[in-house]
Amino acid sequence: MVIVMSPGATDAQIDAVVGRVTDAGGEAFVSRGDTRTIIGLVGDLDRFHGLNLRALSGVAEVVRISTPFKLVSRQHHPEMSTVFVGAARVPIGPDTFTLIAGPCAVETAEQTFEAARMAQAAGATLLRGGAFKPRSSPYAFQGLGEDGLKILADVRAETGLPVVTEVVDVSDVELVASYADMLQVGTRNAQNFSLLQAVGDAGKPVMLKRGMSSTIEEWLMAAEYVAQRGNLDVVLCERGIRTFEKATRNTLDISAVPVAHDLSHLPVVVDPSHSGGRRDLVVPLSRAAIAIGADGIIVDVHPHPETALCDGPQALVDADLRALATAVRQLTPLADRRPALPLA
């Protein structure tokens, strides 16, 4: 069950709802949005019905939710959400198309600056780049850690691009949040529930990749872990799933975009780099993402993919990057979207 408070509901009115629910043995999770507050209830539904919460002042609506995710569900929140990232307030949402681009991993200051300039020239308004890398092999480059975060902050200062970067461990959340504008949770941590709760507490928007073996429902339940901590600024990222097909690194589940949009008010972006795993597929998959109604894409770019320490074969450079920029510029108006420019 979800309690939707009226716009402008006071703290005392919110506390009154929470108090009544907890007195009845239930749990109440408060999420404060830009325009209104919603309260997710966990416990005995019949008991909650008996509390007549609708009659409390400040309560706009009491919604019974049939899905295992509540706060991220569209059942009580039919209009789609927009998430704003960074001081520049770059939007990710239903009216815009956000190009997020940058190196898979931060390797050096020069490489990151160059990749950011390439990304910006292609129309990107958010910079991606991993400082903590969740590598499948313990012998692969693990990222520069805090030094990488400092490089990202320098590049942001130089280019104005807000930064999306991954956090892989609960113990790093505070550190990464002190540099990043948006925290990424990767596919390998998509069901790391304590990490999801910690990023939910960190006060920054979250990009939640779909687990490579997660169903859409599991992905949305993962988002619910973040939302339950009071953070509704979550962007879902479809990045391909494991199937029997070996021609691609993962299988881009393009249908996940409209399915997730139907079930959840959260924005959905597509990662055509980690799904295909091949440079030649990035532009075609991006076209598919635009056509199917994704709210943006997140793409790997690298000034010298042949020497990249991580994911060189999927990184865009030169003509491929120009082709991506052209595809985004030409196709997004057909999908009724405008570029996601900084608002601030």
Distance CA 188, CA 134 (A): 7
Q: SS3 for 150?
A: helix
The single-letter DSSP state of residue 211 is P
Angle between helices 216-227 and 256-263 (to 10 degrees): 50
Element (H, E) at 290: helix 279-292
**Residue number, nearest CB to ligand PEP:** 186
> Can you read off the two tokens belonging to residue 107?
């390797």
Interaction partner, residue 209 (Mn ion, ligand PEP, none; CB < 5-8 Å by kind):
ligand PEP
Task: Tell the smallest beta-carbon distance from residue 159 to ligand PEP (Å).
Answer: 19
The residue count for binding Mn ion (CB under 5 A) is: 2
Q: Which pair of tokens denotes residue 300?
A: 């790997």
Of 3, 30, 53, 104, the one binding Mn ion (CB under 5 A) is 104
Both tokens of residue 167? Answer: 């956090």
Query: By the 8 A CB rule, do 317 and 102 touch?
Result: no
Q: Which of residues 301-320 bind Mn ion (CB under 5 A)?
A: 311
Q: Which of these segments, 11-19, 56-64, 96-104, 147-155, binds Mn ion (CB under 5 A)? A: 96-104
Task: Tell me which stretch binds ligand PEP (CB under 6 A): 27-35, 182-190, 253-261, 276-284.
Answer: 182-190
Q: Which does 181 bind (CB under 5 to 8 A by kind): ligand PEP, Mn ion, none?
A: none
The number of residues making up the chain comes to: 344
Regarding beta strands 182-185 and 206-209, do their DSSP bridges make them parallel or antiparallel, or are they unpaired?
Answer: parallel
Mask: binding to ligand PEP, 241-280, rule CB under 6 A, as x and -? ------------------------------x--x------
Size of the site for ligand PEP (CB under 6 A): 11
Quick one: 20 or 188, whose CB is closer to Mn ion?
A: 188
The answer to the question of residue 127 lying near ligand PEP (CB under 6 A) is no
* Cα–chain center distance at 213: 18
Please say whether the beta carbons of 117 and 159 come within 8 A.
yes
Residue 86 in the binding site for ligand PEP (CB under 6 A)? no
User: Cα 176 from chain centroid?
Assistant: 15
Q: Residue 101 interacts with Mn ion (CB under 5 A)?
A: no
Q: Is 143 in the site for ligand PEP (CB under 6 A)?
A: no
Return residues touching Mn ion (CB under 5 A). 104, 311
Return residues touching ligand PEP (CB under 6 A). 104, 130, 134, 166, 186-188, 209, 239, 271, 274
